[in-house]
Amino acid sequence: MSQWKSSIVTCDPPLGSATVLNEKDATFTVGVPALELEHGGVINGVWIWHNYGETWNELPLREHKTRIVGSDQQDRRFFRGELPRLPDKSNFRFTLRLETDTNRTLWIKDLQGIDDGEVFFQSAGFPSRDVGHYLEGINESGFTASVVGQKDKIDDCMVWNLAASIPPAQGPESGRASRRLGKPDCARWFATVRHNLNWFGPRQGTDFMQLDKEAVLVSFLRRDGLHVVLLPVGGLDSSLTTLITDHEGALAAVSRNEDESDGQARLLVSVATGFEQALSSVMAEAKRMASSKLHNGNGHQNGHQNGHQNGHSQNGGPKHSLTQARAQIDDWNDGFAYCTWNSLGQDLSHDKILGALTRLSESGINIANLIIDDNWQSLDGDGSDASRRRWERFEANQQGFPQGLKGLVSEIRKQNPQIRNIAVWHGIFGYWGGMSPSGPMASKYKMRKIQLRDEAEVQPKDFDFYTVDGEDVHKMYDDFYAFLADCGVSAAKVDTQGFLDYPAHANDRKNLIRPYQDAWTAAASKHFGGRAIACMAQTPQSILHSLLQQGRSEGPMLMARNSDDFFPDEVGSHTWHVFCNAHNALLMRHLGVLLDWDMFQTTTPKYAALHAVARSMSGGPIYITDAPGEHDVELIKQMTAQTADGRTIALRADEPGRTLWPYGGHGEQRLLRVRSGHQGVGMLGVFNVCNRGSLLGEQVRLDDIFDGEKAGEGSFVISRFSTGEMIAPASRETVIEVGLEEGGFEIFTAYPITKLGGLAVATLGLVGKMATAAAVSHVSYSKHHEGFIPVGVEVSVSLKALGTLGIFAQSCDAEDSRKVGVKTIVAMDKAVSNPQRFSSTGSQGEIRLDLESLSIDLGLDSCYRDESTVDLTIVLQFEEDIEDSDGFLAESDSPEAAVAWWWRCTIL
């Protein structure tokens, strides 16, 4: 028996955190060990102690029988009780008191060290239409507020647009303004802050808001259960606004303006019944404002939004067909990738890169994309201090790459024909130390010397920083990417983009920020079809400009790094990395970019699988940076799959993963829940990232895997990744228990059940993969007919890759124990003879199809190289009816006999 089952008490709503309810009462479900505790005694009584009233009182819970995922009924007991909602109080705190059969009284705080939980009953409506009601002082701040949308209509969200002027810049000095917005009355708060000038990071707290960094997003939970979100709007012009707090916990908007005319500070505020709804509302309005600014001619169309409008490729030829374009999208966004950064370090060379690729192949790892990271470029200076080295020329450095970049790329493609894309790294200003003022580039492009801000990280103060002037940056990037494309490079990783915010003077900032953003994105669209990774680009100026991917219908999605780097040797960084990405994704997922949670190593002690699961739940690219020959091949197989033509793709969800609870801090004793999804299948990654080293146990509900509306529709199959166990049918009443050590993880996947022809059916994706459903491109169900007779269910499914396909199938009648089997399989329009050779029936109603053996048998690997999916049609029937139908229908054409046979074999 697992340690957590014998020692951990779970509670829903959870302890040590806050929960918002809109029901008429609070229902508590507590799971306890059924066996004797370590210190003696068996728990036989549970009470909720709460202050929902004048004094602290107890609510006795009754034992409750329920369906459980992740628990043996013999190991665990459950207790349940309800606390009715009071009309005059909206929130309360609670804890647990337990009693054993030896008359011992145990308090959960003493037993597990978990603090009180808190419940907030949500108000039935909005108490006011005045934004000042939700943030006292905002009406006196100097901002002018206007309601967004229909002023006479209030559903479950309100949005205000606030505007105020910013003084003009005076010479090199930016115009600045600061406006106090007031002290929020909050029970919990969350902020996305500028962790440094290059990266965002999450901050959380309880009733006193204290920001240690400038924030680009602030949300707080009121005691009436409403969420208030504030979003400063930047990147539309040369102005910038962020949020700070003072020593009293009051919020203030601080703004700067680089223009020589008055600027405008913009702030969007929303109030909603849910956090995601509040955030979605302000982001939708912000994107509308950005689109309006763009189309009114006040902004510059960036290259990603404008690419491929001339009907020709980057090389001047006609655009690819839709099938070819789709395959290219899959190669870049879905292809499993390898990066040289942590694996080979900064001492790169022609031979090292080829050697690493050889070791990958020898280990059976066939990557689709390669990223050549830092230190391939030609630089001035020497030594290990990258911040004092500057970019000189387009060509690779002669010492490490004597055959040049084209020679390297040509050899890579010759030795590794499975590699579809090769990307190279560079900084937004060329390199960490900028561009050389005396190299070949300085003679071709106008150069600009920049004074950097005192806060600029990594840059020495006694070093002259140069880059190409904004006047010439479009030409420079067009020339550079044309050179790369001629060398065979097909993508770029554009790093150090936060450096755009490093210049101290207003005239430099105006000259560089917007022109550089537009130049690199336009060049990437023109020469690489949009294949690019934006790195260190989490700045306010980028959110609604170079990272905003509105209106793109062609080409792969722009990838954008979602957090600071993966640091393999910093033990304390691993859980923070996952926590930070899950929270940054709350804002970043609204931009339409593919969120990149960064590379990782598959052999990192203790945390490799944690990173792998996080990447699989992220919805973003998956790429590794293993040292040559040091690979966990089995872990890689769980994240990836092989296509029919031998490519390796990463199985990533189409819904970006993000945390479900923004208000919980990294140190809180609460499991991190990351929701993702794919093609109507819900996925939930659960992680113990608490930095206290604690064993944590909690309950998970179907509402966590799906949003409330989807969870209330129909029934589901819920699977657990670590054990492969399933429960079906599952509903909102199903209790899912999970216990995890620090650094531990679990994946729960919920598949909707379709009821048809007497069968309950669900497609489970590729069994044994972390993101099982991500291999499925499409699935549909219909009644299968033999002649005029409906017999069984026809499953039509398109898959990105091969593996073991799982299908859940059983009778709709819970009393019917007959097994369901495979009647026929058609793969890529080829009928499979004796399909039972490739299928097996397991317990819990699961059917497994060996698609890899089937592919070999049909020759799919050689016949369908240009196809990006494998299409299957599978007919399911009760096993006993498969034999009956084969024999009966072959022998009889009698309508009367057919009707009699139909009544005998069909349910519902």
Residue 772: alpha-carbon gap to chain centroid? 16
- Give residue 382's pLDDT band: very low, low, confident or very high (50, 70, 90): confident
pLDDT digits (tens, 9 = 90+) for 55-98: 999 999 999 887 665 555 568 899 999 999 998 888 999 999 99
Q: What is the pLDDT, as a whole number, of residue 584?
A: 99
Q: Residue 503: pLDDT band by 50, 70, 90 thresholds?
A: very high
Minimum mean pLDDT range among 146-160, 380-394, 557-571, 613-627: 146-160
Chain-centroid distance of CA 519 in Å reads: 28
Residue 331's pLDDT band (cuts 50, 70, 90): confident
Measured CA angle at 521 (ends 304, 263), to 5 deg? 95
- Determine the 3-state secondary structure of 4 from DSSP: helix
505 confidence band (pLDDT: 50, 70, 90)? very high
- The CA angle 229-234-237, to the nearest 5 degrees, is 155
User: Which helix H or strand E contains 779, and what residues bound it?
Assistant: strand 776-786
Which tops the pLDDT comparison, 156 or 565?
A: 565
Please count the CA atoms within 13 angstroms of the CA of 184 that sit on its side-chain side. 31
Q: Please write the tens of the pLDDT for every residue from 390-443.
A: 999 999 999 999 999 999 999 999 999 999 999 999 999 999 999 999 989 999
Average pLDDT over residues 341-356: 95
Confidence of residue 130 (pLDDT cuts 50, 70, 90): very high
pLDDT per position as a tens digit, 622-651:
999 999 999 999 999 999 999 887 889 999
Tell me the C-alpha distance between 234 and 292, whole Å: 14
Per the structure block, which two tokens stand in for 771?
């993101």
Burial label for 58, CB within 10 Å (0-12, 13-18, 19+), is exposed
What is the pLDDT at residue 709?
A: 67
Looking at residue 707, its pLDDT comes to 76
Distances (CA, A) of 679 to 653, 685, 748: 8, 17, 16
Give the DSSP H/E element, type plus range, for residue 239: strand 239-245
Check residue 706 and give its pLDDT: 86
Report the pLDDT value the prediction gives residue 311, as an integer from 0 to 100: 36
Closest CA to 579 of 535, 625, 611, 620: 611
Q: By CB neighbour count within 10 A (0-12 exposed, 13-18 middle, 19+ buried), where does 231 fall?
A: buried
Higher pLDDT, 321 or 722: 722
Tokens of 411: 């050899």
Banded model confidence at residue 559, pLDDT cuts 50, 70, 90? very high
Q: 269-283, pLDDT tens digit by residue?
A: 999 999 999 999 999
Residue 663 confidence (pLDDT)? 98
What does DSSP say about strands 62-63 and 263-272: parallel, antiparallel, or unpaired? unpaired
Residue 685 pLDDT level (bands cut at 50, 70, 90):
very high
The average pLDDT across 169-185 equals: 96
Question: What is the total residue count of the chain?
Answer: 908
Residue 567's Cβ-count burial label (10 Å; 0-12, 13-18, 19+) is middle
Mean pLDDT of 3-18: 87
160: pLDDT strictly greater than 80: yes
The separation between CA 347 and the C-alpha centre of its own chain, rounded to angstroms, equals 32
Mean pLDDT calculated for residue range 469-480 = 98
Average pLDDT in the chain: 89
pLDDT at 863: 58
DSSP one-letter string for 576-601? HHHHHHHHHHHHHGGGT-EEE---B-
Contact 538, 200 (CB under 8 A): yes
Say whether pLDDT at 292 is over 60. Answer: yes
pLDDT digits (tens, 9 = 90+) for 720-768: 999 998 988 988 888 899 999 999 999 999 999 999 989 999 999 999 9
In the predicted model, is pLDDT for residue 476 greater than 80? yes
pLDDT at 341 over 90: yes
| pLDDT, tens digit, 9 for 90 and up, residues 532-550 | 999 999 999 999 998 987 6
Query: Is 479 a residue whose pLDDT tops 70?
Result: yes
Domains of the chain, earliest start first: 3-121 (2.60.40.2440), 135-295 (no CATH), 303-316+323-666 (3.20.20.70)
Average pLDDT over residues 640-669: 92
Comparing 324 with 430, which gets the higher pLDDT?
A: 430
Q: What's residue 861's pLDDT?
A: 64
Count CB neighbours of 521 within 10 A. 28
Least confident span in 117-131, 193-207, 301-315, 862-876: 301-315
How far, CA to CA in Å, does 112 sit from each of 60, 96, 128, 480, 693? 20, 11, 42, 59, 13
The pLDDT of residue 321 is 39
- Mean pLDDT, range 800-805, rounded to an integer: 94
pTM of the model: 0.93
Of the pLDDT bands very low, low, confident and very high (cuts 50, 70, 90), residue 317 is very low
pLDDT on residue 325? 42
Question: Is residue 201 very low, low, confident or very high in pLDDT (cuts 50, 70, 90)?
Answer: very high
